[in-house]
Structure 1
Amino acid sequence: SLLKEDGVALLHTIGRAGPPGATNAWLAKYIFPGGYTPALSEMMAAIEKENLWVTDIEALRLHYAGTLRHWRERFAANRDEILDLYDERFCRMWEFYLTGCELSFRRMDQLVFQIQIARRRDAVPLTRGYIERWEDLHRGETVSAAA
């Protein structure tokens, strides 16, 4: 009911490849209590239940592994400063988390989904060309920090 009749939404979320499964016990205890990584089938069922249209899906398989690698490297480069704020246990736990998650995205079943959702099937063009045209039109524009 929050999406207008001609509205389009983008769901950008971490998900799992394959069927529904359980949350890793270590992650549930130390990093994301109550967290859950859904399978695409679970997200699709929720979207269909609301009578919405999936107009596009992109599965970003390895992209987030690179993001996690950069975060891990930046964490390591700033570890002394972080240790001034948190204890050694936290630092080791965070290093383990970043490394484990990177491997989950690189070698296991984790990925990022971008699911475009609309109320109407004709809410967006048939192909993704409109995205590139918009980017070309706005290339070079910057947003001020005060905006």
Structure 2
Amino acid sequence: MTYSCAYFRTPEDTLEQAQMNKVHHILNKLNSKPGESIIDIGCGWGTMMFTAAKEYGLKAKGVTLSQEQYDYVKNKIEEENLTDQMEVILEDYREIDEKFDHVVSVGMFEHVGEKHLEGYFKTVKKMLKPNGSALIHGITGQHEGLGVDPWLVKYIFPGGYIPDIKENIGHIMDAKLQIDDLEPLRRHYQKTVEIWRHNFLKVEDKVKEMYGERFVRMWDLYLQGCAASFESGNIDVIQYLLTNGPSGTEMPMTREYMTDLDRKTAE
């Protein structure tokens, strides 16, 4: 129940391992401490939230506009007796009037649309406590205008928009957020999409029964086109580590902590 770009620590990692690698890589980058608060903007099916709460000891909140995702996460919180540590809300993220130690958002800003990008980053700023940190993960073009494809916008992601790095950096600066780290994960997303296509083809006949041959051909073209775009450098995926003000003593001096597999968590 986890999607977007996975993170392959080794070529042998399964997709499931790589998706969890991604979750831990993001939470490690935030340099969080047990008892701190975190919000996941566009929380999906809750993998990030549950990992943050159960393994990092964070008080986690998720926000989504999907009734199905809200119901799924809410039920799981109750089933696992985590209501004192976790919460999910069905709401527009811009309406949240609360501050957090950390903000995370994965694969979200590509869907807000060009005219709402400035407001997206300003909302991240508004949600952060002083010196709080945010990890924003999303598809970003390295070359202006190349990330927007009319076919994808019409058939796969209506209203979607892929900003380039310069565009996002401008919005980050306008929001008065501090950039602590940028990491491109282009090859990781290429490998992710290639595995998605492999898995899709294994159930192609079943999907064809459900949605028809036209859908199957369209989805296959989408997956192949995305893999080719990542491979060629047409598009990238960037993790932006941001802080609300200079990070000062709140963050380590060097980047080794981000990949420290022995980093202590709530356990």
TM-score (normalizing by structure 1):
0.87
Deviation of residue 20 (structure 1)?
3.9
Q: Which residue of 2 aligns with 1:53?
A: 178
Aligned to 1:72: 197
Question: In structure 2, do the counterparts of structure 1 residues 136 and 106 end up closer, same or farther at CA, with 3 Å as the change threshold?
Answer: same
One-letter identity of the residue aligned with 1:25: P
Q: Residues 82-120 of structure 1: CA distance to partner in whole angstroms, max 9, x if unpaired?
A: 122211100000000000110000014111100000012
The CA distance in 2 between the partners of 1:50 and 1:65, in whole Å, is: 31
Q: Distance in 2 between matches of 1:54 and 1:20?
A: 23
Secondary structure of the structure 2 residue equivalent to 1:99: helix
Code of the residue aligned with 2:243 in structure 1: it is: A
Q: Which sections of structure 2, spanning at least 5 residues, go unmatched?
A: 1-125
Task: State whether structure 2 residue 226 is matched by structure 1 residue 109.
Answer: no
Instruction: Name the residue aligned to 1:136.
Output: 262
C-alpha change, 1:53 and 1:63, in structure 2 (3 Å) is same
Cα distance change of structure 1 residues 69 and 125 upon mapping to structure 2, 3 Å threshold: same
Confirm whether residue 10 of structure 1 aligns to residue 145 of structure 2. Answer: no
Question: Cα distance 1:124–1:107, how it changes in 2: closer, same or farther (>3 A)?
Answer: same
Match in the other structure for 1:145:
none
Q: Which amino acid aligns with 2:162?
A: T
Following TM superposition, the consecutive aligned residue runs of length 4 or more in structure 1 with deviations greater than 4 angstroms are none
| 1:124 matched to 2:251 | yes
Alpha-carbon distance between aligned partners in 1 of 2:147 and 2:240, rounded to the nearest angstrom:
22
Higher relative contact order (CA 8 A, sep 6+): 1
Q: CA RMSD in A?
A: 1.7
Bigger Rg, structure 1 or 2: 1
- The change in CA–CA distance for 1:43 and 1:67 in structure 2 (over 3 A counts) is same
Partner Cα distance (1:118, 1:13) in 2: 17
Q: Does residue 1:36 correspond to 2:36, yes or no?
A: no
- What amino acid is the match of 1:17? Q
In the alignment, the residues of structure 2 paired with residue 51 and residue 32 of structure 1 have an alpha-carbon distance, to the nearest angstrom, of 30
Question: What is the alpha-carbon distance in structure 2 between the residues aligned to residue 45 and residue 28 of structure 1?
Answer: 24
Structure-2 separation of matches of 1:100 and 1:72: 11
| 1:93 paired to 2:218 | yes
Deviation at 1:25, TM superposition (A): 0.8
Aligned length: 139
1:63-95 Cα offsets, whole Å, 9 max, x none, are 101000000010001111212221110000000
Comparing 87-96 with 116-125, which one deviates more in the overlay?
116-125
Among the aligned pairs, what percent are the same residue? 38
